[in-house]
Structure 1
Amino acid sequence: MSNSPLAEVLRSRGLRLTAQRQLVLEAVHSLGHATPDQVHARVAETAAGVNITTVYRALELLEELGLVTHAHLSHGAPTYHAVGEAQHVHLVCRRCGAILEVSSGVLNPLADTLTRDHGFLIDIGHVALFGLCAGCGGGDA
């Protein structure tokens, strides 16, 4: 565990790798998109003594380190996911709750217009569009 990329990032910041931080990062990777409560439930499968406050602190630190990010995909808690090489837009079905990831390129025309006309840069990692998926009557893909 001490030779992991997480350990190297933490060490470069003068922090140490704890089992809880490693478990939280692993939970985010395995779950794909997860709320802090879902991450906590996954971590508790391995380490029952880890409390929700520890999970929140670990998620905040991992986001500060650029290893995870969050988006608001519902009215509740933020949803965390691992930082990948390709940014994506979240399509969230209001009826069934399905989350579809699409390339951030679909927003390029809008992003270009907003930058050109308003000097505004979109943070693609936090973009979530709500509607109905194809299965719930949103139309054909």
Structure 2
Amino acid sequence: MDTSLKGTLHKRGLRMTPQRQLVLDAVRELGHATPEQVCTRVQATAPAVNITTVYRTLDLLEDLGLVRHAHLGHGAPTYSEHRHRHLHLVCHRCGGVDEAPAELLTDVARRTLAELGFQLDSTHVALSGTCADCAGEPDDQNDTQNDDADPAPAETVKGDR
């Protein structure tokens, strides 16, 4: 049992339940997961837990600061542990998701704060484009990228696909 989860819940006047622990464990085990993927993992141990319980629990865990979500394109958000801090790079073509250090957006974060008064949470960002594997492949559809653009090289860390 996660004693930090139990303590956090008790401070808020909430009970520790097996379902809450199972959902948190599933997020930790999966790394990045949609609510449906979390539900499938939880149901392997507790078949009676339904998707509504998983969604409610994920919302609670996010309110408690234990998990965070990111929208990686169309469809359901993806959840990860709160300390799992990085950018998500989503490929238009293959749908793959890679990770990159959040620090890549440090200059953007400084400018948005200085010029707009907006504080960017760069660990909650998904950038879409074309991954290195797909970049050399011909695209039958209209390419939406600007061929004249000179993108800055970025060191990426392969993430969950």
Size of the aligned set, in residue pairs, is: 139
Q: Does 1:94 align with 2:113?
A: no
Indicate the SS of the match to 1:50: coil
Paired amino acid for 1:74:
G
The structure that has the greater radius of gyration is: 2
Structure 1: give runs of 5+ residues left out of the alignment.
Answer: none
Q: Does 1:123 align with 2:113?
A: no
TM superposition shift of 1:113: 1.1
Structure 2: give runs of 5+ residues left out of the alignment.
Answer: 138-152, 156-161
Paired amino acid for 1:98:
G
Q: Which moved more, 1:114-123 or 1:51-60?
A: 114-123
Indicate the SS of the match to 2:29: helix
Q: Which moved more, 1:97-106 or 1:18-27?
A: 97-106
Indicate the SS of the match to 2:98: strand
- State the identity %: 55
Q: 1:112 aligns with which of 105, 110, 132?
A: 110
Measured in 2, the distance between the counterparts of 1:138 and 1:32 equals: 29
Match of 1:75 in 2: 74
Measured in 1, the distance between the counterparts of 2:93 and 2:5 equals: 37
Question: Greater helix share, 1 or 2?
Answer: 1
Q: How does 1:11-50 map to 2 (within 5 A)?
A: 11-50=10-49
Q: Contact 1:131–1:138 (CA<8 Å) still a contact in 2?
A: no
For residues 10-42 of structure 1, the C-alpha deviation after alignment (integer angstroms, 9 at most, x for no partner) is 111111110100000000011111110110011
For residues 90-137 of structure 1, the C-alpha deviation after alignment (integer angstroms, 9 at most, x for no partner) is 111122222222111100111111111111111223210011111122
- Indicate the RMSD between aligned Cα atoms, in angstroms: 1.8
Indicate the SS of the match to 1:92: strand
Measured in 2, the distance between the counterparts of 1:95 and 1:67 equals: 32
Q: TM-score, normalised by structure 1?
A: 0.91
TM superposition shift of 1:68: 0.2
